[in-house]
Structures are given as C-alpha cells and as structure tokens.
Amino acid sequence: MSSLLITNIRQLVNVREHTSVLRGRELADLPCIDNAYLLIEEDTIAGYGRMEDLPASNQQPATVVDAIGAFVVPAWCDSHTHIVFAASREEEFVDKIRGMSYADIAAKGGGILNSARKLHDTSEEELFNQAWKRLEEVSRLGTGAIEIKSGYGLTVEAELKMLRVIKKLQEKSPLSIKATFLGAHTYPSEYKNNHQGYIDSIIQDMLPVIARDKLADYIDVFCEEGFFSPAETETICRAGMAHGLKPKIHANQLHLSGGTQVGVQLGAISVDHLETMDEAAIQALAHSNTIGTLLPTAAFFLRMPFQPARTLIDAGCAIALASDFNPGSSPSGNMNLVVAMSCIQMKMLPQEAINAATLNGAYAMELGQELGSITVGKKANLIITKPIPSLAYYPYAFGANLIDKVMIKGEWL
C-alpha cells in the first residue's frame, strides 16, 4: 500500500473525529492541530496528530513530505456551479456597465437564453473540452468536489446533452462531481406563452430519460418572479423526487420568491442564493434540515446586496458557501475569493467561512461522510498553503494566490 506522510504542518485545519452538518454557532468552531503530521494511505486519510506524538511505526512510510510550516486545509467543496456552458458573456457585462438592466438584457435575448442559443450550436465534445478546462482551473484553485447543473439546454435534446457532458466529467475527472438537472432555469422562447407546456415537457419528456440513464442526482428550479412560481417549483420538484432526485433550489435571489419555504417544505438538500430574505424565510430555514447556500460572488458581480450571513448564522441556520460559477452572474469559480468575500462583505469569521466552504459544502452535496474535513477514512483532498502567518491571513489577503499544492484523492495535482 502506498503511504504518504506530511510532516511539520504549521496548522492542520478542520480536524474532526466525526462530522455532521454545522449550524449556527457551531460554524465558528474550527478544530485545528498546531505543529501536526498527516498520514495518507492510497487516497484516504489514515491518521494525524501532533509532531511529537508521531508513532515510530509511521516514521518510515514510502514518501515523506515536509510541509515546512505550511497550513493544510481540506480542499473546497463547491456545491453550486453551472460550469457546462458554450461561451462567456462579457458583452452583456459591458452593456450593464453602460447602464442596461438585467431585464433590458433579457428582453434583448440575452441572459440564460443567450447561453441556451450558444449551447444548441455547440457539440457535446466541445462542451466537454471547455468544461474540462474549467474543472482543471478550479481544481488548481483548491476545489476538490463540485456540483454541476444543466439548465442552458432548455430542450429535451440539449438538456440531455449537458447532463451527458457532466456524466463524462464524472467518469474522467478525479474530482467528486454531483449532477443537477435544472431544466426549469427559464422558459425557452417557444414556450413564452405556454408555461404549462414547458413544465409538461420537463416532467414527461426529460425526467423519465434522466432517471432511466441515471444522469442526475438532484433537481433544481429557478424559483423567482418572472421565472418559476413556488407552485410550479413544487410541481417540478415533486416530479423529480418521484424519480429519486432530491431538490436543491435557486431561491430568494432577486425577490422574496417563496423559494426558501418551498424548499424547506420539500425537504430540499439546500436552498441557494438567499440575497433577498425576510424573517419568515429566515425562520423557515433555521428550523429545517435544509442547508442555506450563499453565493457571494454572484451578489458581487450583479452589484446586489450581499446575503445576510450574520443574521442567518445567528438564527441557527446551516450555511454553506459556493461559487455559482456561470457565464451570467458569477464568471469565476474561485472559492478562495468566495471565502474572502464572505468574511469581508458578509462578516463571516474566517472559521465560519472555512467550515461553510468545506464541511457544509460537502454536506450540501451529500458528501459529508467522505469529504470536507480532516477525518480518518475521508478522502485525502487537501490544500497546502504557501507560508502564511495565520489562518485569518488567508481571507484577509484576498486575491493573492496562497496555494502551494493541491491534493485530490491522494494524488498531487
């Protein structure tokens, strides 16, 4: 058996014997070991402790790496992305700088429909190659597990094409990948005046094939004014659930959409975005097992108020952080920036942000028993930092690349 010993770790971060999802005050507790070692066997964490307690039997593994004072952090678990897309949309970015609104751009055929048009004209192979490059990019930035959504297809064929690309990424990539069916991202133009027709197509034409070919783990709906109502969200999610897909919902992004409450009622794994929350939505989330996934780079890019992380945590919610990497509202999958932004703009403590981007992110993909912390038996997905003076320096020095090396399932990238 190949084994690897990492020695002289200045601080081993998020070390836990057992794990469960963290809510409220628990998020501020980030257990760490100073001056530590970490033992990895094959692709799995096999032991850890203080350097002075390193057992003699562990002192001659196949390979020893001296961390020379680096911090070792579990790799990021990014539980909300849309990285399968055909083209970037920087022309809309410039239109917005010139004063056009999201609604103006949508009326011009921009936004999600723009991405859907481009995706129709792009081959499966080309989509795979582009998404592969994005996966490589985010893994170098420390992401070891990722959720990827469809939703730029909006026809039976194109949605299936996207999901087949995600399946191929799952087969070929060392990252842990979860697939989410987001056919209900917006109404395609053909169904502009026939919403029920598109919902019928999702339920009757798309879902049975997705379930038969095991193309998705989750079902998502953009529950938002002008997109899908809470009632429509419930209908679509229940149809998905009948095929074994659990809900993860786009909720409360632009308006008080009711998405949080629908998600909670359905027992969703997560409700995501949450820029626009009121007391009813906060209380519903706080008293549920649903994770609230905050996407601060989307709020930043759309120049919206940031998610009320402090209020949510103080109310006792379970909070995860994710990148929302997509061409329209967050053209970046950099989880280091997500963590920094959540500390700077949402007043999350560095400990809270790291827990939310690792362990709770893993739970938001139902990977909490395999990833997201330094726990014996979990996969060895690690970020080794450059020399830094303290853990708080990591989000403080935002924008700097503080990653020295990344390990995915026991292998250095």
* Residues 6 or more apart whose Cβ sits within 8 Å of residue 259: 221, 223, 224, 230, 233, 249, 250, 251, 252, 271
Query: SS3 of 310, please?
Result: helix
Q: Which residue has the tokens 């939505």?
A: 281
Q: Which of Fe ion, ligand NIG, none binds 379 (CB below 5-8 Å, type-dependent)?
A: none
| Residue 144 binds to ligand NIG (criterion: CB under 6 A) | no
The residue (of 117 and 386) whose beta carbon lies closer to ligand NIG is 117
| Residue 328 binds to ligand NIG (criterion: CB under 6 A) | yes
The binder of ligand NIG chosen from 111, 142, 333, 395 (CB under 6 A): 111
Task: Tell me how many residues contact ligand NIG (CB under 6 A).
Answer: 12
Taking the complex as a whole, the smallest distance from the CB of residue 344 to ligand NIG amounts, in Å, to 20
Taking the complex as a whole, the smallest distance from the CB of residue 393 to Fe ion amounts, in Å, to 30
Alpha helices in 291-366 (DSSP H): 296-301, 309-314, 335-346, 350-357, 359-363
Taking the complex as a whole, the smallest distance from the CB of residue 152 to ligand NIG amounts, in Å, to 7
Q: Which of ligand NIG, Fe ion, none binds 329 (CB below 5-8 Å, type-dependent)?
A: ligand NIG
| Residue 320 binds to ligand NIG (criterion: CB under 6 A) | no
The residue (of 92 and 324) whose beta carbon lies closer to Fe ion is 324
The binder of ligand NIG chosen from 71, 218, 222, 363 (CB under 6 A): 222
The residue (of 217 and 324) whose beta carbon lies closer to Fe ion is 324
Token pair of 25 as six digits = 């005050």
| Residue 329 binds to ligand NIG (criterion: CB under 6 A) | yes
What burial letters (b/e) apply to 139-153, b meaning 16+ CB within 10 Å?
bebbbbbbbbbbbbb
- Looking from the CA of 213 toward its CB, the CA atoms found within 13 Å total 16
| Residue 299 binds to ligand NIG (criterion: CB under 6 A) | no
Residue ranges binding Fe ion (CB under 5 A):
324
Name the residue among 377, 346, 341, 375 with its Cα closest to residue 358. 375
How many residues does this entry show for the chain?
A: 413
Q: Which of ligand NIG, Fe ion, none binds 111 (CB below 5-8 Å, type-dependent)?
A: ligand NIG
Token pair of 184 as six digits = 């209900």
| Residue 184 binds to ligand NIG (criterion: CB under 6 A) | no
Choices 93-101, 323-331, 348-356, 361-369 (CB under 6 A): range interacting with ligand NIG: 323-331
Binding mask 150-179 for ligand NIG (x = CB under 6 A): ------------------------------
Instruction: Give whole-number Cα distances, 44 to 279, 390, 391, 405, in Å.
Output: 42, 27, 24, 17
The residue (of 250 and 378) whose beta carbon lies closer to ligand NIG is 250
In eight-state DSSP terms, residue 138 is H
| Residue 115 binds to ligand NIG (criterion: CB under 6 A) | yes
Quickly list DSSP for 41-83: ETTEEEEEEEGGG--GGGSS-SEEEE-TT-EEEEPEEE-----
**Residues in contact with ligand NIG by the rule CB under 6 A:** 111-112, 115, 222, 250, 253, 298, 324, 326-329
